[in-house]
Amino acid sequence: MDAELTRGYSVPCERCSAVDWGVSDSGQFYCRSCHNIIERVREFEETEVLSTSSRVTTLSRSSLKKNEKVLGKEWMVIEGFQFILTHQADALLSLGVCSQFKDDVLWNFWRRYLQKTQQAFTQNPINLGRVSADVDSDSALESVALTDVSMQSGPSPGPESELDLGASAGHSSDGGASSVWSGSMDTSGYLNPRFKRRHHLMTMPKTLALCYLALLWVREGITLADLLRFVFERHIPYLHIHDVFPEEITLFGRDAHIFRVESIPSYRRVQEEAMKLARVMELPTFPPISEECLLHPALLSLRYLTEANLPDELHHWVCKVMAQSGLAEESVLTFDHASKAQRNSPIGYDLQACALIIVSMKLLFRLNDHEEWIFSEQAEDHNFADMESPGLFSLTWWYEAMLRALDKAKKREEQHTASQIWKSSKALVFRKKDRTVSLKRRRVVEHLQNTFRKLSGPSPDPPRSKPSSFIFRWGEGEDSDGPSFHQTKLDHVMKTKCDAHVTANEKYWHPVLRQCSKRVCKDHYAEVEATLPRMYVWLLGLFSFLLRVKPSAMHEEVLKVERRFVKCWRRNRQ
Amino acid sequence: MDDIEAELNAASNIYGNGEFDDNTWGGSSVKSSSSLLPPAVCPERPKETGFHKTLRLCLGSVRDAMLHHRWEDAAKYISHYTHALEDTDSANQLIASEIVWRLGCEILHHHPNSKPEDIIDLYERMKNFGVKNFAKISLDHAFHLLVSSQPEEARRQLSIAESWRYGRQSAAQSQDLNLIRAYRGFLDYITWRNRRSTADEADHHDDSSNPEMHSYFRQASVTLKEVIRHPGTWDPFVLGYIDMLEFYNDQKGAEKVLKDYAYDKAFPANPNAHIYLYEFLKRNDAPKKKLMKVLEILQVLVPSHKLALEYCPLLVDSEDDGNLGKALQVIMDLLEYTSWKHSVNAWKCLWVVVFSMLQRHLQDAVQQEWQKRSELWLALHFRTYHAKKDAQVDRDLLLLKTRVLLTFAGRNPEYRKAATKLISGNNVDD
């Protein structure tokens, strides 16, 4: 149809030198490969053509109009998710993850997922949201085309090319068979709860879960807590997906429900999703977590010890506890979706490392709101006597320094949460009749924001901070959070008793370690919390702030470690 | 909060089970604490999206900044809060729009760099944001314009708002629309008054101003008449209306309006209504009986009102024993209020009443009345301490009170002793 209108014109385009002209709605000529608009307008052509074949002209114009209305391209929801994953992977690469993560691991995981859930790369792809039987063949054709293309191109240079091929693979621009108002073609199927359950369709939290699985496979030092923190600090695209999508794809209608996020998923949720995904994808055994891996508790706990400004000597004790409770073995640590134990309580490496630190502190200082302060007094007496050396570790001083820094950090985080922007700059319209209202609302909000922003004075907020693994900075210097305790010694925790070196603290307390049945009881932390020593609760609070989890989760993890520790210790004694 | 209650409940359990009703005490304090906080500032709810958590923290920050008068911070946080206007839940949206309107106006009002156009712009935007708040915001806008001395603009806004119709929504906001109409009428009255005063100054020079004045009068009177018919407290509107009616010599109409306002059972009890009626009747030389009737009701509503001091002479002049007895009751009721304790006029009035009663040989009635109140009065007015105070306030008061006491209670050593000592002391000084 366009050829008719532009048949006289065969000058190659300036930008891309292709001879592929089309006519836009307003009559201007544009190059179809690079969208370059030229001066030539169709008007005088029309008067020529009108006399001979006016009917043909009007027909083609109306079908053109229809094309424009469908916003240029047809797309499936799964392609949208592919976009998102690509951008997330790029962000992770810029954070320092090795490049194999994106090219090999994530891409293969994605392919495997699509294959196992039969959305692509298979002979019988599932139909989502197709209504009539005729169109079924279209979808089969289209998906097969997608698979053919993808398999041939291998790790694609970019998903844009797939999109083009998918769209032009013989699919009519009929606006899709769905009568649902949305940009993508299979939203109604995607939102159907039955389909969701049966086919394990993709959701926004699942993208994070997939990234996490890939990170686990590559055994990078970015833990799940870090991942969620980067999402919160907007270093990884998750919140404003609208901005990530290309121009031709706009989110509206029911698509918006799929891609909109109103909260960052919790740690546990992502863990569960990851486990489910691993099961669906039938992943083989993961590469083992050996002592050299960054995710091994030996190395990870060192990181958290530095973060929490605890003395380096404590690491020795942490390793001892780890060895004692059997958590140093690869078989226990490696992610395995088939093992029932891991399915019931998935491993959180960061939680585990912090729990080990807490248990070792309990071992050394008892943390019953009494003994630890006595130890501190001993340390302080010693320190006052000898001011030059780094001295002994005094819990009181550490606590005061930590408290100050923690309060500041909590305030900063609260401010950040309060200024977090959840709504993107383009209004998401869910229903057709709300379109004008939503756009108007968006305009009003922007106008009001401008008014108030002018009055909010010079912006005292620092620009978006660079991503870093550490929240606190200890040591000398102006913007440090406090004095560093890393060099202090732990001599006072040991004593000699009958020619044997034992810990000065002779007792160890723990709450009830018996596990309740998971189905009935959720978690008992809220009931137990009032009976626990305040120092312990505060310590839980500190580590749960660092990892951005709830204190109850931290407490559960400590209980898990203690179960193993006490059991093994009892066995050793016998 | 919960810990404190648990502890206190535990403590009360230790000290005896029968003493406190634990459940209700603990329960009611929980209830009061939860009802004190406005809904948007509540503590964290169990299932809250990140978006709502952000909004909650943001609102807390706005509130903090405003209470500490950090207007720039407040402006920054409220610009973040405006995202709440895009919440998909319509109930939340309504709350958010009200918060943005009210807090935004406060911030703009106090911020040193804000311009008046900003405030008006905010009003316009929030008015048209949703339909449910239109009337309230229009009224607030008009008040703001009045405060910033733009009565013409205020009147224009009110008449625009008055002619707004939106089906069910305008019916739901009918009360606010009523108020809008009332204020519009009142502003018409103010304009009319201004015109009248200029016309008076110009000594009725140009007749051309009069038709305009009359048109304002017509508009105002129609509106105000309509508004005053609804039950409510419309004091300034009534006064304005009466003013206009009196100017055009419609005494009967004015009287009817005031009577309706004062006596209609549907209206809330309003002493001011009776005061206005009384003053109107006094202005227009009504017979004493009428005046007395009005004041009787007023005295029942507000025994300590100063018009009681006009009521008593009326009763005394009526030369009726029953009325005299009533007068005594009225004035003694008045003097039982502490605001009248040191008032010379009130005591003088009492003396006049007592004197006229004694002249008419009504000692028994006087003594009866005194017996009823003697304990209270001796403690309230006639202690040595009071004597000293009265001497400080006014010497006449002291003398008056002594005279009164003499009549009532004969020889009461305490007050009179102190009084005579003070008087003689003063005499010596003089």
- Structure confidence by residue, pLDDT tens digits, A76-102: 788 888 888 888 999 888 888 888 888
- When mean pLDDT is compared across A531-545, B10-24, B267-281, the lowest value belongs to B10-24
Q: How close are the terminal C-alpha atoms of chain B, in Å?
A: 67
- Suggest the residue from A261, A436, A446, A456 to mutate for an interface test with chain B (most B CBs closer than 10 A): A456
Distance CA A18, CA A38 (A): 13
Contact between A456 and B76 using a beta-carbon 8 Å cutoff? yes
Q: What are phi and psi of B149, to 5 degrees?
A: 55, 50
Question: For chain A, what is the total number of helices (H) and then of strands (E)?
Answer: 25, 5
pLDDT (mean) for B111-128: 87
pLDDT of A400 reads 92
Q: How far is A416 from chain B (nearest CA, A)?
A: 9
What is the CB neighbour count within 10 angstroms for residue A36? 14
Report which of residues A120 and B366 the model is more confident about: B366
Global pTM reads 0.72
- The band of B86, judged by pLDDT with boundaries at 50, 70 and 90, is confident
pLDDT (mean) for A25-42: 65
Domain residue ranges in chain B: 1-129, 150-227
Examine the pLDDT at A220 and tell me if it is beyond 70: yes
pLDDT of A452 reads 86
pLDDT of A197 reads 74
The three-state secondary structure class of A560 is helix
CA torsion through residues B41, B46, B50, B52, sign: negative
Distance CA A221, CA A233 (A): 18
- pLDDT tens-digit profile of A390-436? 788 888 989 999 999 999 999 999 988 888 888 877 777 778 888 88
What is the CB neighbour count within 10 angstroms for residue A420? 21
- pLDDT tens-digit profile of A196-214? 777 778 888 889 999 999 9
The beta-carbon neighbor of A262 closest among B49, B61, B108 is B49
Distance CA A238, CA A344 (A): 28
pLDDT of B61 reads 92
Length of chain B: 430
Nearest to B286 by CA among B251, B248, B246: B251
Helix (H) or strand (E) segment spanning residue B52: helix B50-67
- pLDDT tens-digit profile of A122-137? 777 766 654 323 333 3
pLDDT of A555 reads 92
Contact between A448 and B54 using a beta-carbon 8 Å cutoff? no
Distance CA B354, CA B346 (A): 12
Could you tell me what percent of chain A has a pLDDT over 70? 75
Q: Would you list which residues of chain B are within 8 Å, Cβ to Cβ, of chain A?
A: 3, 49-54, 57-58, 60-61, 71-73, 75-80, 82-83, 85-86, 88, 100, 104, 107-108, 111, 113-114, 118, 121-122, 125, 129
Task: Enumerate the H helices of A219-313 as residue ranges.
Answer: 224-232, 241-244, 254-259, 267-281, 297-307
Distance CA A144, CA A166 (A): 9
Contact between B53 and A447 using a beta-carbon 8 Å cutoff? no
Contact between A445 and B3 using a beta-carbon 8 Å cutoff? no
Inter-axis angle of helices B116-127 and B134-147, to 10 degrees? 160
Distance CA B26, CA B11 (A): 12
- Suggest the residue from B3, B5, B57, B119 to mutate for an interface test with chain A (most A CBs closer than 10 A): B57
Task: Indicate the average pLDDT of chain B.
Answer: 80
pLDDT of A459 reads 67
**Cα dist from A274 to A340, A342, A347, whole Å:** 15, 12, 11
Cβ neighbours of B77 in A, within 8 Å: 418-419
Q: Would you list which residues of chain A are within 8 Å, Cβ to Cβ, of chain B?
A: 261-264, 414-415, 417-423, 427, 430, 438, 441-442, 444-445, 447-449, 451-453, 455-457, 459, 530
Hey, what amino acid is at B17? N
Cβ neighbours of B53 in A, within 8 Å: 263, 417
Contact between B125 and A422 using a beta-carbon 8 Å cutoff? no
pLDDT of A72 reads 54
pLDDT of A352 reads 92
- The band of A289, judged by pLDDT with boundaries at 50, 70 and 90, is confident
Contact between A448 and B86 using a beta-carbon 8 Å cutoff? no
Hey, what amino acid is at A326? G
Distance CA B99, CA B59 (A): 9
pLDDT of A445 reads 87
pLDDT of B68 reads 95
- When mean pLDDT is compared across A243-247, A336-340, B424-428, the lowest value belongs to B424-428
Task: Name, in order, each residue with C-beta under 8 angstroms of A41's C-beta and a sequence gap of 6 or more.
Answer: A27, A28, A29
pLDDT of A546 reads 92
Q: How far is A192 from chain B (nearest CA, A)?
A: 21
- pLDDT tens-digit profile of A1-26? 455 666 656 666 666 666 677 776 66
pLDDT of A176 reads 37
Nearest to A311 by CA among A251, A374, A375, A250: A375
Distance CA A337, CA A280 (A): 10
Examine the pLDDT at B62 and tell me if it is beyond 70: yes
Contact between A414 and B57 using a beta-carbon 8 Å cutoff? yes
pLDDT of B29 reads 36
DSSP, res A514: P
pLDDT (mean) for A159-163: 36
pLDDT of A153 reads 36
- pLDDT tens-digit profile of A451-505? 888 887 676 555 556 777 788 888 777 777 788 888 888 877 777 777 777 777 7
Report which of residues A464 and B17 the model is more confident about: A464
Q: Model ipTM?
A: 0.72
- pLDDT tens-digit profile of B316-347? 888 888 888 888 888 888 888 888 888 888 88
- The band of B64, judged by pLDDT with boundaries at 50, 70 and 90, is very high
Domain residue ranges in chain A: 2-67, 77-281, 297-412+485-573
pLDDT of A180 reads 64
The beta-carbon neighbor of B79 closest among A417, A442, A456 is A456
Residue in this structure with the two tokens 């729990």, named with its chain if needed = A355
CB-defined contacts A:B, below 8 A: 95
- pLDDT tens-digit profile of A295-329? 888 888 999 998 898 988 889 889 988 988 888 88
- Contact present, A557 and A348 (Cβ < 8 Å): yes
DSSP, res A125: P
pLDDT of A13 reads 65
Task: Indicate the average pLDDT of chain A.
Answer: 76
Report which of residues A41 and A317 the model is more confident about: A317
Chain-centre distance of CA B92, in angstroms? 34
Examine the pLDDT at A147 and tell me if it is beyond 50: no
Residue in this structure with the two tokens 């604490």, named with its chain if needed = B33
- When mean pLDDT is compared across A179-183, A274-278, B157-161, B208-212, the lowest value belongs to A179-183
Contact between B82 and A419 using a beta-carbon 8 Å cutoff? no
Of all residues in chain B, the one with the smallest CA distance to A428 is B86
pLDDT of A8 reads 59
Cβ neighbours of A453 in B, within 8 Å: 75-76, 79
Cβ neighbours of A414 in B, within 8 Å: 57, 61
